[in-house]
């Protein structure tokens, strides 16, 4: 259940019987022809759909993440590592005060990985709590389904092109050669933009919705397993 659809009494009633809660986290950054909010949209949606039959409260996604390498693309914003970790710490502290002791962070952006280390550190100081950091898009079952469909799946490509991240301006299917990601990691933002052009790292820009929904169904089920199994 979305926290947005609950009042405080409902949360209090929930935590009297169950201490699970979900915190999605994303990023606002270029995704080629897709929404700048792709990572936030996907992390929150997969979390909500996974939690729905379990009744677990899901907070709105933290929309902002770590994306310094995309700062030459207008509209992309970034936090600093220390800022993200401070925000996640404050939110985990607040969730604990509300009665949550088993928390799943559903992450939609690879650059947010420092928050996974932060979660481990937080549990060191809160030994009565458990936190799972779940990268929904490359969890074992989900990434296996992705590779069954297409082995070339990257940032800003078909892998993130769902009906709910696509825009009216999103171009039709195109194929782009994969960039040298090792080289890309060593570049400052303005050089990254020159190398990436539209922002897609490589591969097709779109695949049939039937295939995308088959991936989504696996991702939702796998995320639900993470919430159920402790």
Whether pLDDT at 196 is above 90? yes
208-225 pLDDT per residue, tens: 999 999 999 999 999 999
How many folded domains does the chain comprise? 1
Is residue 9 very low, low, confident or very high in pLDDT (cuts 50, 70, 90)? very high
Residue 1: CB atoms within 10 Å: 17
46-70 pLDDT per residue, tens: 999 999 999 999 999 999 999 999 9
Residue 59 to residues 7, 101, 164, Cα–Cα distance (Å): 12, 15, 19
Say how far apart CA 19 and CA 106 lie, in whole Å: 17
CATH code, 191: 3.40.50.10310
The pTM of the full predicted model, rounded to 2 decimals, is 0.96
Domain that holds residue 217: 3-228
Lowest mean pLDDT among 44-48, 111-115, 158-162, 185-189: 185-189
């Amino acid at each position: 259940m979305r926290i947005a659809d609950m009042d405080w009494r409902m949360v209090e009633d929930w935590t009297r019987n169950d201490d699970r809660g979900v915190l999605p986290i994303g990023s606002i950054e270029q995704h080629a022809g897709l929404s700048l909010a792709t990572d936030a949209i996907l992390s929150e949606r997969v979390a909500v759909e996974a939690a729905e039959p379990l009744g677990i409260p899901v907070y709105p996604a933290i929309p902002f993440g770590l994306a310094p390498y995309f700062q030459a693309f207008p509209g992309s914003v970034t936090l600093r590592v220390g800022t993200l970790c401070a925000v996640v710490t404050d939110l985990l502290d607040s969730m604990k005060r509300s009665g949550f002791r088993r928390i799943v962070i559903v992450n939609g952006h690879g650059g947010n990985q420092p928050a996974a280390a932060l979660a481990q550190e937080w549990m060191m100081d809160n030994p009565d709590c458990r936190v799972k950091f779940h990268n929904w898009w490359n969890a074992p079952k989900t990434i296996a389904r992705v590779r069954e469909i297409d082995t070339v799946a990257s940032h800003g490509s078909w892998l993130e092109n769902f009906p709910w991240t696509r825009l009216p301006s999103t171009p039709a299917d195109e194929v782009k050669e994969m960039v040298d990601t090792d080289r890309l990691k060593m570049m400052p933002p303005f050089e990254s933009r020159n190398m990436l052009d539209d922002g897609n790292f490589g591969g097709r820009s779109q695949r049939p919705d039937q295939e995308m929904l088959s991936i989504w169904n696996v991702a939702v089920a796998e995320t639900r397993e993470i919430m159920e199994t402790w």
